[in-house]
């Protein structure tokens, strides 16, 4: 593939899917880390353009690249673990969670507290991907994904409800 052709396809992908990249970054990183993660996703997306052979749907392919990047993003994961440890320490000391009032912020905070693969699965589900598509991206069966999504949704609902009650 020639460079101008790669550039055209890449720009199209970015234009169409940037909100998805942004949401995945919000679910995986915090603060400046999010920009770093988006940068990493864009680089991998650029590199993956010549490899796209149209065997799977374009969006499935892009989800695969983006989520692969997020799942193997080691620096963000280290910081997340440190942040969770710090929050646990603070909770023990102060017996209360930091106040977050915005429901959207609460949602992203709750997603960030999930295990990494669950974070990927729920962001794809909330984006409207079918269970079969998520299974194709992740490499799992449709049934297993359905069961998992049901459990994650329950967990998220409970956590958001609990946070809202604590904060009110």
Residue numbers at the binding site for other proteins (CB under 8 A): 3, 7, 10-11, 14-15, 18-19, 22-23, 26, 39, 42-43, 46-48, 50-53, 55-56, 61, 64-65, 67-68, 71-72, 74, 77-78, 103-104, 107, 115-118, 120, 126-127, 136-140, 153, 156-157, 160-161, 164
- Tell me whether residue 93 or residue 121 sits nearer to other proteins (CB atom): 121
Q: How many CB atoms sit inside 10 A of residue 12's CB?
A: 12
- Tell me whether residue 92 or residue 115 sits nearer to other proteins (CB atom): 115
Give me the least distance between CB of 90 and other proteins, in Å please. Answer: 25
Give me the least distance between CB of 92 and other proteins, in Å please. Answer: 25
- Tell me whether residue 52 or residue 97 sits nearer to other proteins (CB atom): 52
- Tell me whether residue 74 or residue 93 sits nearer to other proteins (CB atom): 74
Give me the least distance between CB of 98 and other proteins, in Å please. Answer: 20
**Inter-axis angle of helices 3-28 and 116-126, nearest 10:** 110
Judged on CB neighbours under 10 Å (0-12, 13-18, 19+), 145 is: buried
Query: What is the sign of the dihedral through the CA atoms of 58, 27, 67 and 153?
Result: negative
Q: Are 21 and 42 in contact (CB under 8 A)?
A: yes
C-alpha to C-alpha distance for 114 and 58, rounded to whole angstroms: 27
Q: Are 60 and 137 in contact (CB under 8 A)?
A: yes
Give me the least distance between CB of 30 and other proteins, in Å please. Answer: 16
DSSP letter at 75 equals: H
Give me the least distance between CB of 106 and other proteins, in Å please. Answer: 9
């Amino acid at each position: 593939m020639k460079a101008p052709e790669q550039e055209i396809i890449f720009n199209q992908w970015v234009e169409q899917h940037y909100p998805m990249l942004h949401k995945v970054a919000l679910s995986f990183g915090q603060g400046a880390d999010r920009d770093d993660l988006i940068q990493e996703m864009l680089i991998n997306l650029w590199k993956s353009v010549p490899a796209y052979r149209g065997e799977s749907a374009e969006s499935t392919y892009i989800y695969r690249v983006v989520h692969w990047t997020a799942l193997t993003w080691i620096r963000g994961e280290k910081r997340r673990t440190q942040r969770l440890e710090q929050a646990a320490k603070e909770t023990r000391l102060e017996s209360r969670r930091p106040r977050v009032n915005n429901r959207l912020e609460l949602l992203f905070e709750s997603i960030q507290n999930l295990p990494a693969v669950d974070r990927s699965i729920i962001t794809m589900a909330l984006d409207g991907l079918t269970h079969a598509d998520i299974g194709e991206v992740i490499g799992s069966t449709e049934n297993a994904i359905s069961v998992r999504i049901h459990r994650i949704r329950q967990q998220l609902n409970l956590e958001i409800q609990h946070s809202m009650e604590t904060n009110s």
